[in-house]
């Protein structure tokens, strides 16, 4: 499984692969993609399909997940989650909100998704220096992993801050041996302090990089 081992066991995860059946959309969901192109409708429906299965894994009935004005999913009261898709896969994670769980972030990317020419837009100087010190054969997928980690942290923090971030807002450190990444905000973003370190996990699997993290309700910077 793509997300196996990346999140705590009380968080339900589900994955979908192109060609697998899709669950029907609720009206409130279908309205959001009524005028979308086919591939966008399919990825949206795949995300809702995964989320339905994750709810069922938690012992709950499937529930609608409308789209917020900011495109973030609106999770049912008392629950939080995250969705990501690549061209061939979709993943979702859903958990019950608690003091230990306020927000979830997941992201999946084809492991060659990011062109090296985009490194200067995505990476801070220290991230580029680190990539350049890695074996050339690994550099593109590590660049993609840094991109994925930033997207994952972005989705996870958004539920708490409602803030749009640029790539320069976060510094990512990957540890390929342990599969742990850390993210440091480059400026204060309440409730996070700058230099506060958030921790997530990543893995390379089936030609993709997958990243995942959670944030608790309190002390969101004390996750090391």
Ligand X SMILES: CC(C)(COP(=O)(O)OP(=O)(O)OC[C@H]1O[C@@H](n2cnc3c(N)ncnc32)[C@H](O)[C@@H]1OP(=O)(O)O)[C@@H](O)C(=O)NCCC(=O)NCCS
Q: Angle CA(208)–CA(8)–CA(56) in degrees, nearest 5?
A: 85
Residue 8 or 187 having the CB closest to ligand X: 187
202 binds ligand X (CB under 6 A): no
95 binds ligand X (CB under 6 A): no
Options 16-24, 81-89, 94-102, 131-139: segment touching ligand X (CB under 6 A): 81-89
196 binds ligand X (CB under 6 A): no
Structural contact between residues 181 and 175, judged by C-beta atoms closer than 8 angstroms: yes
43 binds ligand X (CB under 6 A): yes
Residue 47 or 95 having the CB closest to ligand X: 47
Residue whose pair of structure tokens reads 């640029």 in the numeric block: 166
Options 13-21, 42-50, 125-133, 202-210: segment touching ligand X (CB under 6 A): 42-50
Residue 160 or 180 having the CB closest to ligand X: 160
Tokens linked to 68: 């917020």
169 binds ligand X (CB under 6 A): yes
Number of H helices, E strands in the chain: 5, 8
Residue span 117-156 as binding mask against ligand X, x where in contact by CB under 6 A, dash where not: ---------------------------------xx--xx-
52 binds ligand X (CB under 6 A): no
Q: How far apart are the first and last CA of the chain?
A: 25
CA 61 vs. chain centroid, Å, equals: 24
Residue 16 or 154 having the CB closest to ligand X: 154
Structural contact between residues 221 and 197, judged by C-beta atoms closer than 8 angstroms: yes
SS (H, E, C) 23-60: CCCCHHHHHHHCCCCHHHHHHHHHHHHHHHHHHHHCCC
158 binds ligand X (CB under 6 A): yes
85 binds ligand X (CB under 6 A): yes
84 binds ligand X (CB under 6 A): yes
User: What is the C-alpha separation between 54 and 57, in angstroms, rounded?
Assistant: 5
Options 4-12, 54-62, 134-142, 165-173: segment touching ligand X (CB under 6 A): 165-173
Q: Angle CA(158)–CA(139)–CA(17) in degrees, nearest 5?
A: 55
Q: Which residues bind ligand X (CB under 6 A)?
A: 43-44, 47, 70-73, 83-85, 107, 150-151, 154-155, 158, 165-167, 169-170
């Amino acid at each position: 499984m793509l997300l196996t081992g990346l999140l705590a066991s009380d968080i339900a995860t589900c994955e979908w692969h192109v060609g697998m059946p899709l669950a029907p959309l609720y009206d409130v969901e279908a309205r959001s993609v009524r005028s979308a192109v086919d591939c966008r409708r399919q990825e949206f429906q795949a995300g809702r399909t995964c989320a339905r299965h994750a709810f069922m894994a938690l012992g709950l009935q499937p529930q609608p997940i409308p789209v917020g004005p900011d495109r973030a999913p609106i999770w049912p009261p008392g629950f939080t989650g995250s969705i990501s898709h690549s061209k061939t896969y979709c993943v979702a994670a859903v958990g019950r909100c608690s003091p230990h769980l306020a927000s979830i972030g997941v992201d999946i990317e084809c492991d060659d998704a990011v062109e090296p020419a985009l490194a200067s837009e995505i990476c801070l100087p220290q991230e580029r220096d680190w990539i350049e010190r890695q074996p050339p054969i690994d550099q593109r997928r590590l660049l993609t992993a840094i991109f994925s980690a930033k997207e994952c942290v972005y989705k996870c923090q958004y539920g708490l801050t409602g803030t749009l971030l640029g790539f320069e807002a976060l510094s990512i450190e990957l540890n390929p041996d342990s599969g742990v990444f850390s993210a440091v905000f480059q400026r204060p973003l309440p409730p996070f302090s700058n230099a506060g370190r958030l921790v997530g996990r990543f893995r390379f699997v089936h030609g993709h990089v997958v990243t995942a993290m959670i944030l608790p309700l309190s002390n969101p910077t004390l996750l090391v």
